[in-house]
Amino acid sequence: MECCGPGYASPQEAMKAPREKLLYTIAIYTGTGIQKPDYLATIDNDPESETYSQVISRCEVPGIGDELHHMGWNACSSCFDDSSMSRKYLLVPGVRSSNIHIIDCGSDPRNPSLYKVIDGAEIKAKTNLSAPHTVHCLGSEIIISMLGDAQGNAPGGYLHINKDFEIVGRWENSMGDIKFGYDFWYQPRHNIMVSSEWAAPNTFMPGFDLEEVGHLKYGREIHLWDFEKKEPKETFYLGEDGLIPLEVRFHHDPDSSHGFVGAALSANIIHWWKDDAGKWHWEKIIDVENEPHPDWPIPVPGVISVILLSMDDKYLYLCNWLHGDIRQYDISDPHNPVFTGQVWLGGLLGNAPTVNGVKVTGGPQMIQLSLDGKRLYVTTSLFSTWDNQFYPEIRTNGGCMLQIDCDTENGGMKINQDFVVDFGKEPNGPSRCHETRYPGGDCTSDIWI
Amino acid sequence: MKTVTLTNRDGATYLVDPRKPLLDSLHDQGVDLPYGCKYGGCITCAAKLIDGEVHQKAQVALNNRQLNDGYVILCVARPLTNITLEIGVESHDKLYRNPFLDPLAAHELKADIATPKEV
């Protein structure tokens, strides 16, 4: 295979990549009262640099109130054999506005610039979709899960964009009986895609009404797709074990059928796999206990807002956004995870209100792991309206970013004492940081086909 | 035309077209307001109605408790009378609540799932 496209030939090759020295993370003003655009912050994390652990540039989007959230590259290891492609542009959607910002990170990686905006109004008009979430490159094309129709009703669908960032249309041929959308990941060698469920944009965007879970306004199913036919073929009803299944992660190994999803409200990890007869199964493998709180009438659920797998598929990391801990599990046997590490930062249980001299408002939320598995970066804001409900002080304190050092041999985690980025001290006022990516790809950006 | 008075902008007043959403009318006259979806679904532009009446049937973001507390969604709301508003996040003191600590009663849910209050 010609080795001149983006990314790496395999997960094993990706693990040998040079250490990441720049981080890109979303920072938002939506919902804060500060009338400034959301932006992509570039952070220097080269310990040898004079600006180590600082925001070194800010690429603002044109609008106000977009709510930048998740993002993805224009190209990844799925086009490793295509020398015409390069990992140059981040696609950064606004969940509320549906605008998709194409940010050029390749021309000057330390100072990304806005290249193009796909107008949310155009997306709504051409596809009847809104509320973009997960971005995955797929060979030279890009698909984005869209959580609503143009009026914010579920289930939405999938937006298909070509490599010139033009709208092709809808990617899926059918949504079947799917009620809600959220995250997705695919494993082409098994002709499978798995999608999860949050809620309709009109339900989750204004904030979280717990009562709406009981009224079936939030998801509790995951969906297995025939990837080539672009239509769902099987649904797993997870029930009370799988309330609000969010982040979907397959093993990085493209030959594996094992995958995982974190059920946020149930605070469980669900594992699925295909048996030798070709039948798919699921099971609950991790159950985070609710914790008592002196001021709460009921115990506090963990609210697993994210999960992530190391590039060698050995460790699973999860965040309990309300409890305030990040956990590391050895999933060498995916049916029997072993709890190997834990750190605390922020959260409602009061176990670590201040870390590295910064008051942590919010809890561990989005995480990103270095390709070699040794450095885990964590941010604290979940979603503007939900932040405002559970951690109202985040308006004045802003979010923060920390680094966790991970022991990849024996398991274990500890907070790095040299690295902290306090988004409470941003020039335009306290902002909130969310998803992080690196110029060379990371542990949630690349899929091998 | 209707008059909009903003209590937390030193009582500034604006004349607005009752056929246009308040967000557009105020924005056109230089009032800097937060907004997001612009179809009444995301709550970012919520403001508190202190006096007067609006038509906001298109909004789907507010539950009945928020409506009862006077919140209006400016991107879809139109004034039926002269109105007085408190705008921006300063007006959001009652908009957000911890759903575990302060649950909604059945009649306080969003309109599509609320049940009438038992008297």
The pLDDT of residue A31 is above 80: yes
Angle in degrees, CA A385, A391, A395, rounded to 5: 70
What is the interface pTM, i.e. ipTM, of the complex?
0.93
Cα separation of A121 and A449, whole Å? 33
Which residues of A sit within 8 Å Cβ distance of B?
A: 30-33, 35, 64-67, 96-98, 130, 150-152, 201-202, 205-212, 215, 217, 295-298, 300, 384-385, 388-390, 392, 395
Tell me which residue of A71, A195, A203, A205 sits closest to A136, measured CA to CA: A71
**Residue B66: exposed, middle, or buried by beta-carbon count in 10 A (0-12, 13-18, 19+)?**
buried
A11-437 maps to CATH 2.130.10.10: yes
The pLDDT of residue A363 is above 60: yes
- Among the partner residues B33, B41, B90, nearest to A152 by beta-carbon distance: B41
pLDDT at A341: 98
For residues A1 and A123, which has the higher predicted lDDT (pLDDT)? A123
Domain that residue B50 falls in: 2-108
Are the beta carbons of A297 and B92 separated by less than 8 Å?
no
Using a CB–CB cutoff of 8 Å, tell me whether B41 touches chain A: yes
Specify whether the CB–CB gap between A73 and A441 falls below 8 A. yes
Are the beta carbons of A212 and B101 separated by less than 8 Å?
no
Tell me which residue of B42, B57, B38, B46 sits closest to A200, measured CA to CA: B42
The domain tally of chain B equals 1
Shortest Cα distance, chain A CAs vs residue B22, angstroms? 17
In B, minimum Cα distance to A387 occurs at B96
The pLDDT of residue A138 is above 90: no
Instruction: Encode pLDDT of A255-310 as tens digits.
Output: 999 999 999 999 999 999 999 999 999 999 999 999 999 989 889 999 999 999 99
What is the biggest distance separating any 2 CA atoms in chain B, rounded to whole angstroms? Answer: 45
Using a CB–CB cutoff of 8 Å, tell me whether B69 touches chain A: no
How many beta-carbon contacts under 8 Å exist across A and B? 107
Percent of chain A with pLDDT over 70: 99
Instruction: Encode pLDDT of A393-432 as tens digits.
Output: 999 999 999 999 999 999 999 999 999 999 999 999 999 9
Tokens found for residue A191:
């002709």
Q: How far is CA A422 from the centre of its chain?
A: 21
pTM: 0.96
> What is the SS3 assignment for A77?
helix
The pLDDT of residue A140 is above 90: no
Specify whether the CB–CB gap between A324 and A352 falls below 8 A. yes
Mean pLDDT across chain A: 96
Q: Is residue B118, in this structure, part of any structural domain at all?
A: no
Using a CB–CB cutoff of 8 Å, tell me whether B99 touches chain A: yes
CATH number at B27 reads 3.10.20.30
Which residues of chain A lie closer than 8 angstroms to B99, CB-CB? 207-211, 389
Q: Tell me the C-alpha to C-alpha distance, in Å, between residue A158 and each of A45, A123, A308.
A: 34, 11, 22
Q: Is residue B115, in this structure, part of any structural domain at all?
A: no
Query: Taking the domains of chain A in order of start, what are their residue ranges?
Result: 11-437
Instruction: Encode pLDDT of A299-321 as tens digits.
Output: 999 999 999 999 999 999 999 99
Q: What integer is the mean pLDDT of B49-71?
A: 97
Specify whether the CB–CB gap between A257 and A274 falls below 8 A. yes
Are the beta carbons of A208 and B92 separated by less than 8 Å?
no
Q: Is residue B117, in this structure, part of any structural domain at all?
A: no
Cα dihedral A289, A294, A298, A302 in deg (nearest 10): -30
Distance separating the N- and C-terminal Cα atoms of chain B: 39
Angle in degrees, CA A350, A198, B69, rounded to 5: 70
Most A-contacting residue of B26, B92, B100, B115 (CB-CB within 10 A), to test interface: B100
> What is the SS3 assignment for A427?
coil
Tell me which residue of A277, A238, A240 sits closest to A260, measured CA to CA: A238
Specify whether the CB–CB gap between A252 and A311 falls below 8 A. yes
3-state secondary structure B16-68: ECCCCCHHHHHHHCCCCCCCCCCCCCCCCCEEEEEECCEECCCCCCCCHHHHH
Q: Which residues contact A238 (CB under 8 A, 6 or more apart)?
A: A220, A221, A222, A245, A263, A266, A270, A282
- Among the partner residues B37, B90, B96, nearest to A207 by beta-carbon distance: B96
Q: Which residues contact A149 (CB under 8 A, 6 or more apart)?
A: A128, A129, A130, A156
- Among the partner residues A152, A211, A388, nearest to B104 by beta-carbon distance: A211
Q: Which of A49-63, A71-85, B13-27 comes out lowest in average pLDDT?
A: A71-85
Q: What integer is the mean pLDDT of B24-52?
A: 94
pLDDT at A3: 61
Mean pLDDT across chain B: 95
Instruction: Encode pLDDT of A211-240 as tens digits.
Output: 999 999 999 999 999 999 999 999 999 999
Which residues of chain B lie closer than 8 angstroms to A298, CB-CB? 100
Please state the φ and ψ torsions of residue A133, each to the nearest 5 degrees.
-125, -90
Are the beta carbons of B36 and A67 separated by less than 8 Å?
yes
In B, minimum Cα distance to A202 occurs at B41
Cα separation of B66 and B92, whole Å? 10
Cα separation of B30 and A97, whole Å? 21
The pLDDT of residue A1 is above 50: no
